[in-house]
Amino acid sequence: MVYLLYYGADFLAGLFLCNCIPHLVAGLRGELFPTPFAKPPGKGDSSALVNCLWGTANLLIGSWLLSYGSFSVGLNYSTPAFFAGFSLIGLFLSRHFAAVREAKGR
């Protein structure tokens, strides 16, 4: 049972660490990018500062979850759990942000 918590932490770490990438990149480049704090949430643009802070928060949470779990790269259950979370949110975010950009005419 305890192992399921570790694998869940590895999965969530993948989610948070993948989500930190676009926000940190947008923030460091000084670009506007959607965040949950924009109006409407997830569709409106937030400032570069908000994106940098949101990306950093995701990085910290993901790193903490990764240290909590039993993650180690190799042939084990934690590696696929991490990459499943990373891939799942990556696929979702790519479709979501593509739709947001298309709606804005970019």
Kindly report the number of other CB atoms within 10 A of residue 39's CB atom.
8
pLDDT, position 1: 66
97 vs 72, higher pLDDT: 97
Q: What residues does each domain of the chain span?
A: 2-103
Residue pLDDT, tens place only, 1-10: 667 888 899 9
Query: CA 81 to CA 75: how far, in whole Å?
Result: 11
For the stretch 18-66, pLDDT in tens is: 999 999 999 999 999 999 999 998 889 999 999 999 999 999 999 999 8
- Residue 46, beta-bridge partner list: 33
Please, are residues 20 and 58 in contact by the beta-carbon 8 Å criterion?
yes
Amino acid at 33: F
Record the pTM: 0.88
